[in-house]
Amino acid sequence: MNHEIETIQQHLAKLRQVIEQHNYNYDVLNNPSIPDAEYDRLFHELQQIEHRFPQLVTADSPTQRVGAPPLKAFSQITHRIPMLSLGNALEDAEVAAFDRRMREDLEVDCVEYAVEPKFDGLAVSLRYENGILMTGATRGDGYVGEDITLNLRTIRAIPLRLTADPLPAVLEVRGEVLMLKADFMKLNQQQRENGEKEFANPRNAAAGSLRQLNSGITAARRLTFFAYGIGIGEGSTVPKDKHNHIMEFLAALHFPVAPECGVVKGLDALQQYYHDVGSQRDQLPYEIDGVVYKVNSLAQQEKLGFVSRAPRFALAHKFPAQEAVTELLDIDVQVGRTGALTPVARLKPVIVGGVTVTNATLHNADEINRKNIMIHDSVVVRRAGDVIPEVVSVVLEKRPSNAKPFDMPDHCPVCGAKAVRLPEEAVVRCIGGLFCPAQQKQAIMHFASRRAMDIEGLGEKLVAQLVDNAMIRTPADLYKLGLSALSGLARMAEKSASNIVAAIEKSKNTTLARFIYALGIRNVGETTAKELARHFGSLDSLMCANIEDLQQVTDIGPVVAQSTVDFFSEPHNREVIEQLRFCGLRWIERANKTGESAHHLTLAGKTFVLTGTLPHMTREEAREKIEKLGGKVVGSVSSKTDYVIAGADPGSKYDKAVKFGIKILDEAGLLQLLH
């Protein structure tokens, strides 16, 4: 072989190994070890070399994770060792019966079990030959699945090449492909912004993303993988004794293995595991629908064998159903924080996954029409994790003769303002804005909520009372409430009133991220608020940012950028922010350029130039005021100047500011900034 080509080949192999190690750190360990920009640089280098030497591209190159030309159809793959399903249990008694069967058949007093979460995703089998991922298939009917190799290659948590010495000659890794809850939320937000259909749950999103003939679509979705066992395993290093050793072996080969996996002994420990995992369920990053128990010893597994299509040695202990059927009593219309009118189903109380549900969202009028839902219908209600329950579908066979269609109102049921639907939106909105009491209440509730300003004790009923009695209209009004005003309210004890006053006072000490989130800017959730605070460091820089500046922030696209700019250009919002600052809300700001921390130094990192004569203060007084808040006053205008303060008869500095596009303020503007 040509010497030069050989050198390039070695370089490529090294580069691929380094990139895959970073993929592993990022996707499996959740512990990125280099900045994204450095990763992009390595990836780009690999792409460029492969572009120059296409004959050196290998199937296991990280560049091959971006998808391949679309297929006409999936071909079939036969599973030499079938991918069986699991027997199910819902009741404790069924688990006790399972453990008894195991003890009796194995003739032991106590059985050791491997315990695992039961992922709610799609089962797949990955076949590695001499360490290279050759094929990947869906479970299909358990015997024959579909060849989705190209799609599975795009999932960065799945190794394309194994590193071990010696390598197993053949290794079939079995596990579940899924979409993390956070990625699911992001995907649906994207689908919403692009006017595309949202997915009902992470499982559907994962299925829809994986069964694509165009692997480019799979590559654009964030999927992950968790291993739970092996099919064929040929090689001296493949454990032959216990299931948990197989899992450790897979983790050492860089396959993701759920941290909740473990080994326990006896029935009580199984039940304990079920309850422990169940109580963590809503906090886990992925959806699970139960736990799985497997007899840990492989020799014992073999002895127990199979019944019909399921192993006798394993059991899925499912969490209670998260869906139930009940009657839709009526449909109310709620007005949200942004004026969106949301139809809400009033239901005959029903237990869904252990919780009584009486209300569920119907999303919007289109969804009601699409699902063909009428008042008095029997409907299927779903509760997923900690999100608001939703009406999924209607049981048409049970439709009563008095079923009544629902009409979306054309006026706001709270303030009576017109309700309109913008052409690009699915929702109808009340145009009453912050003059609509419903929107006022929601905005204040959001402002006071735990993850925002965290004002303890300021619940829905109290906010409603305060707004209805015209005691508050905006979040800033909260800080003007005194003890006497509060204790004068009906059903308000002196002690509760003083607790609330203290909670309001306490909330004044906050963080910039919380404050931004509390403002309730449309499309700016907690994570985005944190990103904005981190990026801009101070409220003033955020308020001055334009669409382009905002799009520099991680994960911020045109829609969020636009709603942020719209929010800050609304005079009413600026006024409320000004009042909040005046009332003494404070947080630590980071100087944009110097990185120095400051308390109250709202102008830290900002550079000012003064020119002309100000009407009510000398330039020296203006300088003092700016410097007191951490700002810097310099003599000449450059592209680094943030503000030029111009009085009467300004000099050439004014013209220069216009040329550089620098913000020019008069004395009133400066005073507003100083406040």
List active site positions: 118
Report which DSSP code applies to 62. Answer: G
Structure tokens at 571: 């005079």
Smaller CB distance to ligand 9MJ: residue 39 or 293?
293
Find out whether 362 and 333 touch, Cβ atoms under 8 Å. Answer: no
For 577-644, the three-class secondary structure string (H helix, E strand, C coil) is HHHHHHCCCECEEECCCCCCEEECCCCCCCEEEEECECCCCCHHHHHHHHHHCCCEECCCCCCCCCEE
Q: Which residue has the tokens 């293995």?
A: 257
Rounded distance between C-alpha atoms, residue 203 and residue 556, angstroms? 26
Rounded distance between C-alpha atoms, residue 202 and residue 212, angstroms? 16
Rounded distance between C-alpha atoms, residue 440 and residue 225, angstroms? 44
State which amino acid sits at residue 175: G
| Residue 584 phi, psi (nearest 5) | 105, 15
Longest C-alpha distance within the chain, in Å? 101
Q: Which residues here bind ligand 9MJ, judged by CB under 6 A? A: 84, 86, 116, 118-119, 176, 228-229, 292, 314
C-alpha angle 618-622-626 in degrees, rounded to nearest 5: 170
421 Cβ neighbours under 8 A, 6+ residues apart:
427, 428, 429
Smaller CB distance to ligand 9MJ: residue 24 or 228?
228
Find out whether 225 and 125 touch, Cβ atoms under 8 Å. Answer: no
Find out whether 412 and 367 touch, Cβ atoms under 8 Å. Answer: no
3-state secondary structure of 158: coil
Q: Closest distance between ligand 9MJ and the C-beta of residue 314, in Å?
A: 6
Q: Closest distance between ligand 9MJ and the C-beta of residue 390, in Å?
A: 24
Smaller CB distance to ligand 9MJ: residue 22 or 318?
318
Structure tokens at 657: 């500011």
Distance of CA 272 to the CA centre of its chain: 30
Structure tokens at 225: 């993988």
Q: Closest distance between ligand 9MJ and the C-beta of residue 435, in Å?
A: 52
Rounded distance between C-alpha atoms, residue 124 and residue 119, angstroms? 12
Smaller CB distance to ligand 9MJ: residue 15 or 314?
314
Find out whether 353 and 369 touch, Cβ atoms under 8 Å. Answer: no
